[in-house]
Structure 1
Amino acid sequence: MDLLQLRYFQAVARREHISQAAEELRVAQPSVSRTIARLEKELGVPLFDRQGRQVRLNSFGTAFLRRVDRALGELDEARRELADAAGLEHGRVVVAAETLLTVTPLVARLRAEYPGVDVRLFQSNADTMVRQLGDREVDLCFASQPLTGPLLRSAELLREKVLLAVPATHPFAAGDRVGVADLAGEPFVTSRAGYWPRALLERIFAGTGSRPVIACECDELGTSADLISAGLGVGLVPEMSRGAPTPTQGPVVWVELDAPGCERVLSLVWRADTYLPAAAQKLRELAHVMLSRL
């Protein structure tokens, strides 16, 4: 039994799909299949139940995965501790965030101070971030929704009002405030399901007897202002976006929304039981300093 077999097993166990695991590992599918078969032969028990291309962990595989996760987790943490011993010049940090615009200035500052730090970023929704933390795929998550789990710890970084952005020609642009009842039938520019703007929008509409009309779903929230200014719809945008560059299509007007809890709470989340690399610790410090000033 070797580390390669354990890495392959862990990937297949998480995906429960040989092809997807091979794609993640960037190896050929037959190589993964042969490695798993060799591991099962060495252990003397099957680890998966086969259903065509799909595989399912059986009771043997489930028990073995717990041990493998623990062993590989310890080895990964040991490697990161050794890298930290060599200094931040050779550190690494893996981060997930709902919008990468949140972490861009932080990463830029970190790389300016420590050019040798290796940074990897994921754009993930809340459910994906919980899984990534659980699987130790990321060190830190910047989340605008609560991430729950027995081993997760969080610290609030920023609390800001969320405004309604409308095109300059929209009737709402003439006023200062808009009620939730006035939003019925309005087309919205928002994020895909699972991200905080969509979650907040659905929460605002809950109990009103109507559902929001979705005109556009964005992958990157930084494009919302351009789409709103182009007249595609209205949208919920955090107050800090007022300081963003002017949309290319035209001006956007910011209107307060008369709805309880219409705010964004940005938190930093990490695992309490996992070694946090020096680069991640430094990024966490920068986040507290830089975002607290906004």
Structure 2
Amino acid sequence: MDLLALRHFQVVARHEHISRAAAELRVAQPSVSRTIGRLERELGVPLFDRTGRRIRLNAHGRAFLRRVDRALGELADARREIADAEAMGHGTVAVAAETLLSLTGTLAAFRAAHPRVAIRLFQATAEEMARLLQAREVDLCVASQPVTGPALHREELIREEVFLAVPHGHPLTRRDRVTVRDLVDEPFISTRPGHWQRALLDRLFAAEGLRPAITCEGDEPGAVHELITAGLGVGLLPAMSRLSAHATSVAWLRIEAADCVRTLTLVRHADTYLPSAARRLADLLVRDLSEDVRP
């Protein structure tokens, strides 16, 4: 049993598909199949259930995968720790967030202070963040929804009110607060399921036995503000957005509903070595984002 075989098994287990695994590994499909076969013979049990050309991890495979993930993760951490000690101010830090726009100020300050550190950014939902953390593909996540999974460390950064933003000239601008029932016929600009804005919008309406009328949905939460400004609808925006240079381009109304808030959390894998560059960026994120948001 060698590391290459374990790596091949890990990728095949994630895809549950030989061809896709081979494409990711950049090796021939028959080679991957032979590697998995040798591994199963060495262990003395099948790791996958096979039906025609389809494969699925069985109970043996799931148990083995947990150990393989842990073993390969430890080796990856060891390499990073050694490289980190050698780098002396260099290195790489990888960060995931639902929208990257809220991180730009912190990232600019970090880059100015540590110009030799490479920064990798991922835009991801909370579900995708959990996978990226478990796979050791990112060091830090800034999440607006719970990121679930084993051995995750979470630190609350801010808990801020969420407002209804409407374009100027809209009839609702004559008011300073609304209820969910006032918004039944309003066209909403929102995000796709999986993002915090959509989750909060659906929850607020469901509490009243209603469903929102969504006229536009996408994968970039930061675009919601601009689309509201363009007059395409109304939408939910966090208090943080009221501090931006474009805050006056929309009107802001309070929503009379329980728990109409966003909680921003810094998440990392508790059992993974955190490089010094990532630790410095985490400290900066806590400093910049932990302050109260006061519109």
Q: Same-fold call, TM > 0.5?
A: yes
Residues 18 and 120 (structure 1 numbering): CA distance in 2 closer, same or farther, change over 3 Å? farther
Superimposed CA distance per residue, residues 178-215 of structure 1 (whole angstroms, 9 cap, x where no aligned partner): 11110112111111111110111111112312101111
Deviates more, 1:265-274 or 1:86-95: 86-95
Instruction: Please point out which of 251, 265, 268 is paired with 1:253.
Output: 251
Equivalent residue, structure 2, for 1:268? 266
Q: Aligned partners of 2:69 and 2:53: how far apart in 1? A: 24
Superimposed CA distance per residue, residues 77-105 of structure 1 (whole angstroms, 9 cap, x where no aligned partner): 10111122124533222222111113333
Q: Aligned partners of 1:53 and 1:120: how far apart in 2? A: 37
Equivalent residue, structure 1, for 2:214? 214
Superimposed CA distance per residue, residues 46-65 of structure 1 (whole angstroms, 9 cap, x where no aligned partner): 32222344321123322322
Q: How many residues were matched structurally?
A: 292
Equivalent residue, structure 2, for 1:197? 197
Equivalent residue, structure 2, for 1:161? 161
Q: Which amino acid aligns with 2:97?
A: A
Residues 39 and 159 (structure 1 numbering): CA distance in 2 closer, same or farther, change over 3 Å? same
Deviates more, 1:204-213 or 1:115-124: 115-124
Q: % of aligned pairs identical?
A: 61
Alignment of 1:42-61 (within 5 A): 42-61=42-61
For 1:181, what is the secondary structure of its paired residue?
helix
Instruction: Please point out which of 276, 285, 288 is paired with 1:287.
Output: 285
Q: CA deviation at 1:38?
A: 4.0
Equivalent residue, structure 2, for 1:122? 122
For 1:122, what is the secondary structure of its paired residue?
strand
For 2:46, what is the secondary structure of its paired residue?
coil
* Alignment partner of 1:109 is 2:113: no
Q: Aligned partners of 2:237 and 2:26: how far apart in 1? A: 38
Q: CA deviation at 1:73?
A: 1.0
Q: Aligned partners of 1:260 and 1:190: how far apart in 2? A: 20
Gaps of 5+ in 2: none
Is the CA contact 1:88–1:278 (under 8 Å) kept in the aligned structure 2? Answer: no
Is the CA contact 2:89–2:277 (under 8 Å) kept in the aligned structure 1? Answer: no
Q: CA RMSD in A?
A: 2.3
Is the CA contact 1:161–1:263 (under 8 Å) kept in the aligned structure 2? Answer: yes
Residues 204 and 125 (structure 1 numbering): CA distance in 2 closer, same or farther, change over 3 Å? same
Residues 288 and 213 (structure 1 numbering): CA distance in 2 closer, same or farther, change over 3 Å? same
For 2:162, what is the secondary structure of its paired residue?
strand
Q: Aligned partners of 1:175 and 1:181: how far apart in 2? A: 15
Q: CA deviation at 1:41?
A: 4.4
Deviates more, 1:104-113 or 1:29-38: 29-38
Alignment of 1:126-145 (within 5 A): 126-145=126-145
Superimposed CA distance per residue, residues 96-148 of structure 1 (whole angstroms, 9 cap, x where no aligned partner): 21111133333332222222323222222122222332333322111111223
Residues 26 and 263 (structure 1 numbering): CA distance in 2 closer, same or farther, change over 3 Å? farther
Q: Aligned partners of 2:225 and 2:16: how far apart in 1? A: 40
Q: CA deviation at 1:217?
A: 0.9
Q: CA deviation at 1:245?
A: 4.2
Alignment of 1:10-89 (within 5 A): 10-87=10-87, 89=89
Superimposed CA distance per residue, residues 16-58 of structure 1 (whole angstroms, 9 cap, x where no aligned partner): 1223323443555444334333433444543222234432112
Is the CA contact 1:49–1:56 (under 8 Å) kept in the aligned structure 2? Answer: yes
Equivalent residue, structure 2, for 1:99? 99
Q: Aligned partners of 2:115 and 2:52: how far apart in 1? A: 47
Residues 173 and 129 (structure 1 numbering): CA distance in 2 closer, same or farther, change over 3 Å? same
For 1:217, what is the secondary structure of its paired residue?
strand
Q: Aligned partners of 1:90 and 1:112: how far apart in 2? A: 13
